[in-house]
Amino acid sequence: MNRAMDINQLVRQNVRELTPYQSARRIGGKGDVWLNANESAIALHFELTMQTLNRYPEPQPEQVIERYARYAGVRADQVIVSRGADEAIELLMRAFCEPGRDRIIYCPPTYGMYLVSAQTLGIGYKAIVQMNNWQLDLTAIEQNLTDTKLIYICSPNNPTGNVLNPDDIKTLLDMAWGSALVVVDEAYIEFAMEHSVVSWLANYPHLVILRTLSKAFSLAGLRCGFALANKPVIDVLQKVIAPYPLPTPVADIAAQALSKENLTKMTLQVVNLNKQKAHLITALKQFSLVDAIYPSYANYILVKFNDQGVFKYLWNQGIILRDQSKQPNLANCIRITIGSQAECDAVINALKTLNDQGN
Ligand SMILES: *Cc1c(COP(=O)(O)O)cnc(C)c1O
C-alpha cells in the first residue's frame, strides 16, 4: 500500500482551484476580544423541550415557519428555513443556475459567500463593483444581465454598513423582470427594520429576501436562516433542499427564539447595541489615526485608518477584528463588530495607546 496516489487529480477542477471562504474562525487568531464575525456578545440560554432524537425531524418545522412568517409579515408559504442564510445562498444557485452556462452577479465590497458558493458549484459570476457612495452601479449591472440568473445584493451591506437606495432596488427589479431573481440579503435588517423590502413581495415574483438568526437574534451557533419569496420560488427551493435540513434541537430552539417574549428581548438588545455603537463611534472619532467611520445600519462599523499597522497591532494584543483591506476600494479599512461595553472599551483603549504613540 505504498503506491503514491494524488487525490487532487480526482477533484473537480473548480474545487481544485477554489479558495475557501475565509471565515473568521478559519482565519484564527488568539485573544479574548472577538469582534470579527458580527456575532452577538450576548449568550442566550435555552432548554430543549424535545428530548428524544430517534425520529427524523420535520423537514420544515411548522412552528418555526409560522412564527418566522408572523414576525416577518409574510405568509407561511413564503418562507423556507435553512441551515443558516449561507445554505439559502447556495440553494438558490443550485435551483436556478445551470453550471457552465448561467452566472450570478454580486456587488463588492460585500459578503464573500456569494462568490464562494458560485465557485464551488461551477457557476459563472460577475462582480459589479459598487460605486464610490456604495450604491449599486445599475448601468453596469444592466450591461451584464445576459446569462445572469441571480443578482445578489446586501442591505445593510456587509462590510460597509450602508443600506441600498430603495429606488435603485426597484430599478434593479424592473431590469431583471423575467430574466433573473433579485436576492436581497437582509442578514442585518433588525438593526434597520424600516429599510426591509419584505413588503415588496406582493409586487415582485422574482424577489427573494435572505434572513438569519445569527446576528440580531444572537444565535450564530444555531445555524438557522430563512429565505422569503413568493410560493413558486419557495416550491423550487423545497425541491433542492436536503430532506431534513434542520436538526430537531435547532428547530426546538429556533421556535423558542421566535416567541413573543424573546422577540421583545431581541428588539431591546438591538436598541442597546445601537447605543453601544454610538459610544464606540464617539470615542474613535477623537483619534487622529482614524480617517473615516462610515455610517452603519448594522451591528458593526467600518473604519478607515491612516496607518496600515492597526489590524496587526490589535491582533497581537488579542483583539481580533476583520481586515477588509483586500476588498475593492477598502484599503486600510477594518470592520469592527459591536461587542459588549468591555470589548468596545478594549478596542478604544488599545487604539488610544497606538494613537498617542503616533503623536
Ligand atoms: C452573517 C451573514 C450571513 C450568513 O448568515 P448565517 O445564517 O449565519 O449563515 C449571510 N449574509 C450576510 C451578509 C452575513 O453577514
H/E segment holding residue 169? helix 166-176
152 lines ligand 1 (CB under 6 A): no
Q: Give the pLDDT of residue 1.
A: 63
| 359 pLDDT tier (thresholds 50, 70, 90) | low
Residue with cell 437574534: 217
Give the integer Cα–Cα distance in Å for 335 and 325. Answer: 10
186 lines ligand 1 (CB under 6 A): no
214 lines ligand 1 (CB under 6 A): yes
Task: Pick from 212, 217, 296, 322 the residue to mutate for probing ligand 1's pocket: most ligand atoms within 8 Å of its CB.
Answer: 212
Q: Residues in the chain, how many? A: 359
Q: Are strands 207-212 and 181-185 parallel, antiparallel or unpaired?
A: parallel
Encode pLDDT of 313-345 as tens digits: 999 999 999 999 999 999 999 999 999 999 999
For ligand 1, atom 5: residue with the closest CA: 85
248 lines ligand 1 (CB under 6 A): no
Q: Give the pLDDT of residue 22.
A: 79
The DSSP string of 122-146 is: T-EEEE----TTS---HHHHHHT-T
| 276 pLDDT tier (thresholds 50, 70, 90) | very high
47: helix, strand or coil: coil
Task: Pick from 117, 158, 184, 302 the residue to mutate for probing ligand 1's pocket: most ligand atoms within 8 Å of its CB.
Answer: 158
Domain ranges in the chain with CATH number 3.40.640.10: 62-258
Asked if the model's pLDDT at residue 24 lies above 80, the reply is no
Encode pLDDT of 208-249 as tens digits: 999 999 999 999 999 999 999 999 999 999 999 999 999 999
Domain ranges in the chain with CATH number 3.90.1150.10: 10-42+262-358
Q: What is the CATH number of domain 62-258?
A: 3.40.640.10
Instruction: For domain 10-42+262-358, give the fold.
Output: Aspartate Aminotransferase, domain 1 (3.90.1150)
Entry pTM? 0.96
Distance 355 CA to ligand 1 centre (A): 33
Mean pLDDT computed over 266-289: 96
Give the integer Cα–Cα distance in Å for 291 and 103. Answer: 37
H/E segment holding residue 228? strand 225-228
Report in angstroms the alpha-carbon separations of 293 from 132, 138, 177, 334, 352: 15, 26, 36, 10, 16
